[in-house]
Amino acid sequence: MLRAGRHHSSATEELQIIPPSKLSVEGVSKSFRSASGNVLALDRVSLKVAEGEFVCLVGTSGCGKTTLLNIIAGLEKADSGAVLADGKPVTGPGRERLVMFQEPALFPWLDVFGNVLFGLKLKPNLTNEDRREVAKYYLELVGLSRFEHANIHELSGGMKQRVSLARALAPNPRVLLMDEPFAALDALTREQLYGDIQEIWKARRKTIVFVTHNVREAACLGDRVLLFSPHPGRIQEEFTVNLPRPRDINSVDLAAHATQITKALKSAGKAEAIAPK
Ligand SMILES: Nc1ncnc2c1ncn2[C@@H]1O[C@H](COP(=O)(O)OP(=O)(O)OP(=O)(O)O)[C@@H](O)[C@H]1O
Ligand SMILES: [Mg+2]
């Protein structure tokens, strides 16, 4: 464990597995003003995520998934309600809760290694040597050791997302918030990453909230899948996925879960189509 009040730390301490957070979203509402009027992006949304749980949020475009993720991250403020991490209100962003976006937000002027190191700048206890050791560990974990000195523009989309993942993991957050991180990738690359993310989650014990449009992806990764309904954004239904891990995205059992969720998703879409404005 990292001990508070010490003036020096080491990479070994930094790399230890820390207890993941539990999250509690309590009656969060958020609306946006736009040219076409007010949009109620989230309407009294409540959910609990246990320590080390992997929860997936699915729902049609515009139903408030990113808004909720940003509020959990502390990047955006709710109009009402609260987010608690380990019982404490989230009032702003912090390195305990890091976000990984759909498009890799990497710095093109830094190489792969530099991008992962960047996430460790906020750790004043580490020496430069410690930071290098930690960065190397995470590059190995995501399978990119050979590419540590590659330029960002030389990487494929999948490799960029691996760098983003290493950069998000390096500061050892308790919560990882992922917003459609694999949406722009081809199916084969995505399948590899499903395997990797399951392994990494097992090895590093993070609490993960993962947003996706892809129902199969949600069933492959999540302990639970929360289905959002749009306008106003609400949690419509919850599915528990009890399949053993590692899960294969192409397995028959997984397809059965995905079919069930897809049916509910379609009925949410229909309900919206016939709802009076
Ligand atoms: N900054 C903003 N200003 C105005 N409206 C916004 C803003 N951010 C989100 N919205 C609106 O809030 C609603 C929810 O948006 P959000 O981005 O959370 O949806 P989403 O579920 O992540 O969608 P997608 O699956 O397309 O990413 C949408 O109707 C969107 O237009
Ligand atoms: Mg979104």
For the chain, domains (ranges, CATH) are 17-106+174-274 (3.40.50.300)
pLDDT band at 5; cut points 50, 70, 90: very low
* Average model confidence (pLDDT) across the chain: 92
The residues placing their C-beta within 5 Å of ligand 2, an ion, are 66
Task: Identify which of 33, 40, 45, 63 to mutate to test ligand 1's pocket (most ligand atoms within 8 A of the CB).
Answer: 63
CB 36 less than 6 A from any atom of ligand 1: no
d(CA 178, CA 101): 6
How far apart, in whole angstroms, are the C-alpha atoms of residue 57 and residue 254?
17
Residue 59 CA: which ligand 1 atom is closest?
Answer: 21
Segment 176-198 mean pLDDT: 92
Is the CB of 207 inside a 6 Å radius of any atom of ligand 1?
no
* Rounded-to-integer distance, Cα 126 and Cα 169, Å: 16
Q: How confident is the model at residue 274 (pLDDT cuts 50, 70, 90)?
A: low
Report whether pLDDT(2) > 50.
no
Q: How far does residue 145's CA lie from ligand 1's centre (Å)?
A: 37
CA of 42 to the centre of ligand 1 (A): 10
User: What is the mean pLDDT of the segment spanning 183-206?
Assistant: 92
Average pLDDT rounded to a whole number, residues 216-221? 98
Question: 70: CA distance to ligand 2 center in Å?
Answer: 10
HSE (side-chain half, CA atoms, 13 Å) at 113: 13
Q: What integer pLDDT is reported at residue 124 of this predicted model? A: 84
Q: Please report the pLDDT score of residue 9 as a whole number.
A: 58
What is the percentage of the chain residues whose pLDDT exceeds 70? Answer: 94
The CA–CA distances, whole Å, from 206 to 50, 150, 197, 249 equal 10, 28, 11, 21
Residue 276 has pLDDT above 70, yes or no: no
Residue type (1 letter), 124: P
Instruction: Indicate the pTM of the whole model.
Output: 0.92
Buried b (16+ CB within 10 A) or exposed e, 236-245: beebebeeee
Q: What is the pLDDT of residue 153?
A: 95
Q: Read off the pLDDT of each residue in 115-121 and give the average, rounded to a whole number.
A: 92
Pocket test for ligand 1, best of 31, 32, 101, 212 (most atoms within 8 A of CB): 32
Instruction: Confirm if 162 and 144 have CB atoms less than 8 A apart.
Output: yes
Which token pair is 1?
């464990």
CA of 5 to the centre of ligand 2 (A): 40
Quote the tokens at residue 97: 């809760």
Q: How confident is the model at residue 263 (pLDDT cuts 50, 70, 90)?
A: very high
Instruction: Using DSSP, state whether 147 is helix, strand or coil.
Output: helix
pLDDT for 6: 47
Nearest alpha carbon, ligand 1 atom 29 = 62
Mean per-residue pLDDT, 158-186: 93
For helices 128-141 and 157-169, the axis angle rounded to 10 degrees is: 130
pLDDT of 61 higher than 80 = yes
Q: Which ligand is nearest to the CA of 42?
A: 1
Q: Report which bound ligand comes closest to the CA of 230.
A: 1
Q: What is the rounded average pLDDT of the residues 221-243?
A: 96
Residue 102 confidence (pLDDT): 80
Confidence tier at 148 by pLDDT (50, 70, 90): very high
DSSP-H helix ranges across the chain:
11-14, 65-73, 112-118, 128-141, 157-169, 187-204, 215-221, 252-274
pLDDT band at residue 3 under the 50/70/90 scheme: very low
Query: Distance, CA 53 to ligand 1 centroid (Å)?
Result: 25
